[in-house]
C-alpha cells in the first residue's frame, strides 16, 4: 500500500480572490482539500462520461442501415414475452429453485 506521501502531490492553483473568500467562509479549513478533491473528481468523471457518450454517438451514427436492422432483428428475436418469463419462473419454482432477485 502506498504511503501517505506517495498518494498525494502538492499542487499550487491560483483562484479568483472572491472564489477563495467564498470557499473559506463556507468550508472548514480541515475539510477544504477534501471538498476540492471531491468537486474536481466529480467534474473529471462527468467529462469522462461525456466523452464516452460522444464516442457511442459517433459509433452508432456511422453504422449502416443494414447493421442497425440486423441488431434490431436480433433483439426482437431474443425478446422474452411476459408469458415466456412467467413460464420460466414457474418451472424453476416447481423444481425447487428460488427465483433470482
In the prediction, which pLDDT does 4 show? 61
In the prediction, which pLDDT does 16 show? 94
Q: Is residue 100 part of a domain?
A: no
pTM value surpassing 0.75: no
Three-class HEC string of 18-70? HHHHHHHHHCCCCCHHHHHHHHHHHHHHHHHHHHHHHHHHHHHHHCCHHHHHH
Q: Is residue 54 part of a domain?
A: yes
Q: Is residue 11 part of a domain?
A: no
Dump pLDDT digits (tens) for 10-44.
888 899 999 999 999 999 999 988 998 899 999 99
Answer yes or no: is pLDDT of 101 > 70: no
Question: Residue 74: which domain range?
Answer: 16-94
In the prediction, which pLDDT does 97 show? 61
Q: How many independent structural domains does the chain possess?
A: 1
Answer yes or no: is pLDDT of 48 > 90: yes
Tell me the CA distances in angstroms from 3 to 8, 10, 31, 65, 80, one per residue in order. Answer: 9, 15, 21, 54, 52
Amino acid at each position: 500500500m502506498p504511503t501517505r506521501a506517495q498518494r498525494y502531490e502538492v499542487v499550487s492553483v491560483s483562484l479568483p480572490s472572491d472564489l477563495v473568500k467564498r470557499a473559506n467562509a463556507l468550508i472548514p479549513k480541515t475539510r477544504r482539500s477534501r471538498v476540492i478533491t471531491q468537486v474536481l473528481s466529480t467534474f473529471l468523471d462527468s467529462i469522462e462520461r461525456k466523452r464516452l457518450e460522444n464516442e457511442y454517438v459517433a459509433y452508432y451514427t456511422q453504422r449502416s442501415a443494414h447493421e442497425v436492422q440486423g441488431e434490431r432483428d436480433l433483439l426482437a428475436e431474443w425478446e422474452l414475452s411476459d408469458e415466456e418469463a412467467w413460464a420460466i419462473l414457474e418451472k424453476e419454482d416447481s423444481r425447487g429453485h428460488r427465483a433470482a432477485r
